Structure 1
């Protein structure tokens, strides 16, 4: 890693004096100042003026030095009250002098003003001092908010805790502490690093500690020095690094943390998401310092150990942090920042008891025992115990949990305006136009609601209004929503209620265990012929079909792959009988099936309605019916239609952000290619484990059917339940589905990648071995 060996320049004082005079017109007495990786001299002129001559490390790029000088110039301009060094330019007016030493090596040299006062670490510091220091750090941060330099980004800097995983192979230098250190780094990489991109970022000093802070006689801060570790990153690292680095200077670490946090927050209010990570960041800063110190002692013992000599990276400091613990520390910091301390987590059993009292006696939850999730990011969910789970099940966050583009769009819009469509607005129009264009311009009229259930309900009402009929067709084990009208075509949700008299179910086109198997000629037409039976049955009861509703991925029927000709034939039969066709795209749309944006397009069919919900807002409530303008207009002639929240500004901002993210991230292609890789891996497992009877899926939607006997196809529902829970124990979240409850159901987010496929397949293999 860069700078693991500091290798600071070692020019003689005489040569440095000649450079100071020749390049900067600076003469006087030189005395060495320690720097970790540069070479510094204090220069005292005859008139008493003092400067610091800095000879940069040969491994430091020119751009990084330019960045430091640019930051100091920026601070002098926008915040002259902050005591930072001022640049002395060369005789020629440049910021940096380029020299060659007597051995022919090239160096960059620059000069800064020397700031008088006492090193903070040489003082006995109390709560008031630490509060002032916290306020100073925040003030410096606010002043740097408007500064950016390309060299501040992606530095790969040794002391940036985000680089901690790169030190993983050096924890062995810590001896007995090595195993615990490795676990801490692994957990940091898995659970903390993914959350950092969601925090506020800017250019920060990154290294304010007792040896980079100068205090006056009255205790006030008279200097902030050493901008060599400056980088662009999460703003909270300025505080968390300082809280960790000031440990050697604090008689009462907890009191120091509290005072410094309070002082910082008074100038720069801390966000709850930042407070929640400060403890983890402090621990990692302390651990990084420990590893670097130990690695340098072992790998470059000839270099000075300035860090260790001044108390940084002491095992006792790390132990003190761990003894204090995450919960107590976070509560203390939250209080210091004027925030409510996180409530103690209740056991799952206690939460379930509370839930039964207020949410019904039959809790509908995943897994046994249930999971208490507290946070999500991307493809991961995190529970109250700090464990993370790879999410292969929740289709609502189609872009992954807490997608920053959607979250930012929602947050920005809710601060501006959120009202209903009785006012004219541009966002709802843009969203409607873009959705209509994605149907190829066939369905361009949009009715905005709040969920897939509502969308299906409105589509049904429109179909009845257009046709004058009242019969409804659906698949035999379908699910389409919770309104009274749509619950009637959701037989998979029924416990005891009989089918409504106006509903007829259709055979699902299941080529694995259905009445027509794979390889049967014209299988799609044969399954579609079942619609004739259903339509005749309606006729015998004096009804014609108003609509048929189809989930293009047949999720509840077992995630069935498109059966050539089936949907087209089915739609033709229903239309011939006077009905319309609804494509329920809640689970199959938005590119999930890979080759097309909408699921129905995989069947080569054209519906009269497209209904969307869940994934449309990546978790924000959005529902839309897309149909032909004449159908919508006919409906509006018969009834008033308005949804208070449907099409509101925030929902449309979320919906547009989802469309943008799918387009800009090329996520349909990812669903197609990653899905093919995942499916190939599942089929390989099927060849090795006979309990897997069938693997099917399109894009990033999969069904793995478990059977006790591959010959008789005897379903294995108990084994499926056990496998789902074994996978939970492996950190992989899946569900179960199908009329027999024997299908493992997987619908990972569209950002699922190759690495996640490998994790999921590994977990499946281990769980199958234990089944």
Structure 2
């Protein structure tokens, strides 16, 4: 089958093409080469107009060019903007030329002005429709056209796709070879069922967003008729639909827009629509194989090489979409639907059963029970139509791959219940021929097309599914339909009333309404690994915490000036977790409040106003905690707006800072000595440091640094504050507190986040002397700090951490996760470093490992792509180029490995070509 392979382009330069144009056509002017896979094309801006000189591949027959010219004439006659043939001086449309021992066919066409749709900004659904209409119009124009030159064997003829892939299989890139074979076998099988019913005609064969151009007035022109051939009519649509994959935020919506617009101009049969998606899969696979072979044949072809990455991505996107679902969606978008008549079918009284993301029936992980639907479907209950069922959600899976959207309903009835006659278009399972139920649960679904649509589908194109498989409520005499979730409208409401300076994650955030352990679930029952939430120490919705909070709410919740047991017990346990001598506890609401209080304790105890803090650190949002916060990622004006009582020292970053490497501490401490020598240290109250740079992505301090700073500050009469809000409380696995990693002991510890698992709760732990010195400013009081409910939750967190060995889990799973992330660095040069310890990690992405230049935009794209992989991760650091990885401490080894694999897939798509 070698005749179905590619051919190297003719060898020709711009000077040679210019000579041919001048000698045979009398055309002169500036000349540039245009891209082509197997031919040579040159644009000349001549005094009489812009033209394209085309040198055909040596294997091209004259009849093929004649067919192209005839097709151009037909298309032009139908009102389409296409190139025109420019006769040579001899009057011939085609001339034969000798060039470097090659005998080539040369011709000249008029240049169709405009920018390829591929290169225009804002490629959206409207442009998909425009492309689909253009393709449909061209197919309609060529419907009655015939020419002998269109009857040829070509690797682009989708009738031969199987043979082409067999021939070119050795050229497939190793990374996608197995994927191509796995995807094209079922596609070919599905196609085989309708192949005999597919009409044939002459088609353009390559009407893509690269061969459709738009001028300044928005008029579309079609170029490059080099693949004109006789093939299946629907093959034209397959080519066009393939070209929009990856061009918008929603491939399914984009493809269906192309199909609908195409069908308006060139109506298709049901068999053609059934064949379309298998042909899209085959087309994208052929393109990948052909380009790989072409690069082998013609290694200098920049045009082909530049497109390879996008072509592989288009194939991967096509293969990732469910073949059966896409076939049904295409059928529903490309032809009229018949709405069935829906008289009353079931006369029993029924109660709807909630199986959605927020259903209380699915609390405490019940949704993961594979038998939960059967157990909940008791006689007289009915499931809901159009519901995204949490019971069918799949953890550790790519977004929108689980079939969770219910297109029918299940009705639990006594066996022997008699139904009315089933009308056409209504599908009922579990009844005998006379309409009597023979199963305890029957299924009812409606279809607007012949056949049986899937009972459950992925969340793509919900509105199309609802038209294809309408609401069966009239059959039941009861409204069982669930409105489509609308996270976009909710986001608009948020932006209207929730001050937008309170940012949200992601460009188009999913609406998260449930959590369980290390998972988050949105309203479309899509499950994500929470790689971000260091607040949720014990995981989301832990039963012990919900029970503790509910019980305490049922008893009492008030402020800590009242005398009750929970605040006392929590304070005792915190003191026992701290180093000896730190046994006085203040309970507060948050980390910011804890830091603010710690600063006041330091200044009050010492009688001094000045605090030493590090650059690149984050400590909170209150006036006091913000004053010592210097993270540019959180506040671009941080360094220029610090108050006079804050003295900043260099960020001790041994990865990208002033001093680097394992012995960096000595350099930073020497710089600090110089800085302190220039200060009036009699005003120094103390120092506040994160024992690990949290917002820097978990960057460890250089060994010996923290002890060195503490020694210097204490020698000057100051106190040392360790801000443990982000990384303390067992998160590091190897240590309970961050300062333990450095072998240092502070005078004041601040902690929050992890203490309450999301409940407002924080603490300051210090010495008796420092605590009692605060009396000079009066008594301390925090209205909700240490409330009975918050304290009960705090105690439950400590109990769960102990009983489930969460610090040990942070160590073992965290070490494995870090090892997996480090292993990716051997493949991807963009990984400059992996920071952190336990389950406080960061992956720093750089554009250059030598200079450590931050890859900020890549990091943003990685986070968005990880969302599609079912992982929630966000950027951090002054340059927003570090993936912050701080999941709940219940993270499983399986979930950790899934995150590594997902990041591998994302970087392969975004980085490797």
TM-score by length of 2: 0.50
Query: Alpha-carbon deviations, 1:265-310, whole Å to 9, x = none?
Result: xxxxxxxxxxxxxxxxxxxxx99x99xx9xxxxxxxxxxxxxx982
Determine which of 351, 358, 375 is the counterpart of 2:497: 358
- The root-mean-square deviation of aligned C-alpha atoms, in Å, is 4.1
> How far did 1:317 drift?
6.5
Determine which of 666, 677, 683 is the counterpart of 1:525: 666
The residue number in structure 1 matching 2:694 is 555
Query: Alpha-carbon deviations, 1:174-201, whole Å to 9, x = none?
Result: xxxxxxxxx9999345499xxxxxxxxx
User: In 2, are the aligned partners of 1:547 and 1:580 still within 8 Å (CA)?
Assistant: yes
- CA distance in 2 between counterparts of 1:654 and 1:602 reads 27
- CA distance in 2 between counterparts of 1:416 and 1:336 reads 40
Determine which of 449, 455, 461 is the counterpart of 2:588: 449
> How far did 1:537 drift?
5.0
> How far did 1:250 drift?
6.8
The residue number in structure 2 matching 1:369 is 508
User: In 2, are the aligned partners of 1:432 and 1:446 still within 8 Å (CA)?
Assistant: yes
The residue number in structure 1 matching 2:833 is 694
- Decide which moves more: 479-488 or 314-323: 314-323
- CA distance in 1 between counterparts of 2:498 and 2:437 reads 60
The residue number in structure 2 matching 1:500 is 643
- CA distance in 2 between counterparts of 1:157 and 1:568 reads 51
User: In 2, are the aligned partners of 1:686 and 1:692 still within 8 Å (CA)?
Assistant: yes
- Equivalent residues in 2 for 1:310-709 (5 A)? 310-312=438-440, 316=444, 345-348=485-488, 350-492=489-631, 493-496=634-637, 497-520=640-663, 523-539=664-680, 544-709=683-848
- SS of equivalent to 2:620: coil
- SS of equivalent to 1:249: coil
> How far did 1:632 drift?
0.8
User: In 2, are the aligned partners of 1:553 and 1:560 still within 8 Å (CA)?
Assistant: yes
Higher helix share: 1
> How far did 1:757 drift?
1.2
- CA distance in 2 between counterparts of 1:252 and 1:562 reads 75
- CA distance in 2 between counterparts of 1:435 and 1:770 reads 47
Summarize the Cα distance change of 1:247–1:407 in structure 2 as closer, same or farther, 3 Å threshold: farther
The residue number in structure 2 matching 1:167 is none
The residue number in structure 2 matching 1:721 is 860
Paired residue total:
506
> How far did 1:531 drift?
3.0
Summarize the Cα distance change of 1:714–1:374 in structure 2 as closer, same or farther, 3 Å threshold: same
Summarize the Cα distance change of 1:327–1:547 in structure 2 as closer, same or farther, 3 Å threshold: farther
Query: Alpha-carbon deviations, 1:414-441, whole Å to 9, x = none?
Result: 0111112222111111100000000143
The residue number in structure 2 matching 1:261 is none
User: In 2, are the aligned partners of 1:593 and 1:599 still within 8 Å (CA)?
Assistant: yes
> How far did 1:614 drift?
1.2
- CA distance in 2 between counterparts of 1:336 and 1:415 reads 36
- CA distance in 2 between counterparts of 1:735 and 1:157 reads 31
Structure 1 spans left out of the alignment, 5+ residues: 1-123, 135-153, 165-182, 193-240, 254-285, 294-307
Structure 2 spans left out of the alignment, 5+ residues: 1-344, 354-365, 377-387, 398-408, 422-427, 447-451, 457-464
- CA distance in 1 between counterparts of 2:371 and 2:589 reads 47
User: In 1, are the aligned partners of 2:866 and 2:906 still within 8 Å (CA)?
Assistant: yes
> How far did 1:643 drift?
1.1
Summarize the Cα distance change of 1:162–1:569 in structure 2 as closer, same or farther, 3 Å threshold: farther
Query: Alpha-carbon deviations, 1:672-696, whole Å to 9, x = none?
Result: 0111111111111001111111112
Summarize the Cα distance change of 1:249–1:440 in structure 2 as closer, same or farther, 3 Å threshold: farther
Summarize the Cα distance change of 1:733–1:524 in structure 2 as closer, same or farther, 3 Å threshold: same
User: In 2, are the aligned partners of 1:553 and 1:587 still within 8 Å (CA)?
Assistant: no
Query: Alpha-carbon deviations, 1:368-389, whole Å to 9, x = none?
Result: 2233222211111122332111
The residue number in structure 2 matching 1:283 is none
> How far did 1:242 drift?
9.8
The residue number in structure 2 matching 1:298 is none
User: In 2, are the aligned partners of 1:356 and 1:362 still within 8 Å (CA)?
Assistant: no
User: In 2, are the aligned partners of 1:707 and 1:715 still within 8 Å (CA)?
Assistant: yes
- CA distance in 1 between counterparts of 2:396 and 2:591 reads 33
- CA distance in 2 between counterparts of 1:504 and 1:158 reads 59
- SS of equivalent to 2:582: coil
> How far did 1:538 drift?
4.2
- CA distance in 2 between counterparts of 1:640 and 1:378 reads 39
- CA distance in 1 between counterparts of 2:558 and 2:904 reads 50
TM-score by length of 1: 0.59
- SS of equivalent to 1:610: strand
Report whether the alignment pairs 1:187 with 2:392. yes
Report whether the alignment pairs 1:244 with 2:412. yes
Query: Alpha-carbon deviations, 1:46-82, whole Å to 9, x = none?
Result: xxxxxxxxxxxxxxxxxxxxxxxxxxxxxxxxxxxxx
